[in-house]
Amino acid sequence: AKDQGKNNFQFYIPKSDSQAESRLALATRLHHAIHQNELCLQYQPQVCLQTGRIVGIEALLRWISPDFGTVPPGQFISIAEDTGLIGPIGEWVLREACQEYMRLKLAPLQLAVNLSARQFRQPDLVAKIRQILEETAMPASLLELELTETAFLDNVNEAISTLNQLKSMGVMLAIDDFGTGYSSLNYLKKFPVDKLKIDRSFIQHVTESPDDQAITRAVIAIARSMGLRTLAEGVETSQQTEFLRQEGCEEAQGYFFFKPLWPKDVASLIQNVCKG
């Protein structure tokens, strides 16, 4: 199909028969995963680099399968996209994240939820999100949707229209993995987004690599001049943290601060931070 980006194409060329078989096996089981309660969410805190405080959490999907064990999202999101299962799975993620957020009383933290490109292009996406916000009483302004640049590729005008509808509901928008896609800086001008998430691949070597430093500085500068916030992904060391803070990056997320946590651990972490 014409809406399949370059990245997706490789999924149709199995590297071996056994890989094709295992993808098929996964797809079959994935079907049942929602109804059998095999999906769950972890949450990774996002930290303000100025104050050190937790300002948000990102919901990360987990599939705990009786047959395959814990399957990482990198292995099954692409299958879900190819088979169309991303529709029901993405809807489940949004509802579950909002429900858990309200149940654990996590306001005023920002709740970030990943949307896949195909999910973003579903015609009923905006209606679904509106319905979930109503159903769960989740405040729209505390929900942040993370989109990758591939979501915008196919039909730019339609993408802008969807983004505008989400913005008018009050939802926050972030571009995920910024810099790894087909970034045309021209997009940034047209898209009503609030935040750029600088991809981990630039952060990983940012303290040794002059190129990664230049890219990271440039992204922060562009974001600032356009009134967008920046968050650095995959921060693992204090040196990276110091560099980012000095360069004026607002937020960070990564193992240096917190790994993805189970809901009960998020709840007690937030409670302790508030009390202490």
Interface ranges with ligand C2E (CB under 6 A): 44, 60-61, 72-74, 77, 93, 114-116, 176-177, 233-236, 254-255, 260
Identify which range of 76-84, 136-144, 216-224, 225-233 contacts Ca ion by CB under 5 A: 225-233
As measured in angstroms, the least distance from the Cβ of 224 to ligand C2E is: 22
Q: Report the DSSP beta bridge partners of residue 178.
A: 198
Q: How many CB atoms lie under 10 A from the CB of residue 176?
A: 23
Measured from each CB, the residue nearest to ligand C2E is 254
Tell whether residue 100 is a contact of Ca ion (CB under 5 A).
Answer: no
| Residue among 30 and 93 whose Cβ is closer to Ca ion | 93
Burial-class residue 142 by CB neighbours within 10 Å (0-12, 13-18, 19+): buried
Token digits of residue 44 = 């990774």
Identify which range of 14-22, 73-81, 85-93, 144-152 contacts Ca ion by CB under 5 A: 144-152
Tell whether residue 177 is a contact of Ca ion (CB under 5 A).
Answer: yes
Interacting partner of 166 out of ligand C2E, Ca ion, none (Cβ under 5 to 8 A depending on kind): none
The 3-state DSSP class for residue 44 equals strand
Distance CA 92, CA 16 (A): 32
Return the DSSP state at 235: -
For the chain, count helices (H), then strands (E). Answer: 13, 9
Residues lying near Ca ion in the complex (CB under 5 A): 114, 146, 176-177, 199-200, 233
